[in-house]
Amino acid sequence: VMRFWLDFGVDGFRVDAIAQVIKDDRLRSNPINPSYRVDPASPDYDPYLAQLHVWDGMRPEVLDVVRGMRKVVDEYEGDRCLVGETAVLERDRYAKLLGDGSSLLHLGFDFHPILASSIPEIRQAVEATSAALHPDVWPTLALSNHDQDRHVTRLTGGTVGDDVQARLAAAALLLQRGTPFIYYGEEIGLPNTVVPDDRLLDPVGLVERERGRRLPIRPGLPAAGYGRDPARTPMPWTDEPGGGFTAEGQQPWLPLGDPSRNVASQSGDAVSVLSWYRRLIALRRSSAALVAGDYEPVKAPEGVWAFLRIHGSERVLVSLAHGERSWMSIRDVGRLVGDEEARELTVLEGTHRVAGSRVPAMGPIALEQGEVVVLVLRRAS
């Protein structure tokens, strides 16, 4: 089957639930999780968490299956790729599916950022996972998918869009070391959409509704609906009836969200979330440091996530001010990796600053709440 599609010229495959592709050869039941003490009669009871997943996932044979798939992909010329849906939260087990990058998956989704509910949690997740991987493995970056709440909703706890959080998250996704994946809608800052009970389609949601239970990760979202449907609603292309997704008068399989948050209105807005995504993608493509550079965290005030991307002689400093307004000194950063003679540094991109503007190299700079600024410390020679 893989060769059939590779012969057609596909670039690769997303491999669903790869850790669960093999079950125990004796079909043994998972043991009960002794630390999970929720009453089975309670609406909050989760049968998945009530088990220790010993026999139904990450069996030793799983790696043999992945090696076989990789061998097939490697038969073909070009950059063919295997992307695993690696929903394995134990980082040592997750790392096994990637190995040293030579014979298993090329990329594998890390679910820790996909479950994170703040910018600091995203930082902790990507740094911890990177430390657990073999040095030759390339990270995989994603903040949302079809099974979890959209990250704007997780970051705000609601179903109303928040452009500040959307921009911070975009920078965390697109300026990191690794291959970023964008889940449709996040490039316009789309939050979860409210799905009435009578419009539910997700089997998980239907069971939850019957039990009166909502997923543990969404305790503050009773208005959004049950299950996964609130993160699966149609892409709003325009503010017209049907959202440009379907013809006027026709009803899509799930309801559309806020009609004012759509692609058409944001395409012509220079300060929209969509324009910010486009600018960051263009910036990433223009910089070897942002495409392939190493990641080095930088000491910064509380509420600021600052890091360097380093490739050859090119040095880029990224700062995300997710807390209150603060002052950040770049003096030490500049002396460490930049041009000691420089009096000013160039802004490559920013939410509050114009690209091409300058900031002092030897003194502190004020970072507004929600600000993202990307500075070049040293250009590629």
Active site residues: 16, 75
Classify 144 in phi/psi space as left (phi over 0), alpha (psi -120 to 50) or beta.
beta
Question: Which residues, 6 or more positions from 33, have their beta carbon under 8 angstroms from its beta carbon?
Answer: 49, 50, 51, 52
b/e burial code for range 119-145 (CB count within 10 A of at least 16 → b): beebbebbeebbebbeeebebbbbbbb
CB atoms within 10 A of CB 220: 12
Q: Give the Cα separation of 289 and 12 in Å (integer).
A: 26
Contacts 24+ apart (CB under 8 A), 124-130: 126/172, 126/176, 126/178, 127/297, 128/91, 129/91, 129/94, 130/177, 130/295
Using alpha carbons only, give the angle 131, 337, 320 rounded to the nearest 5 degrees: 60
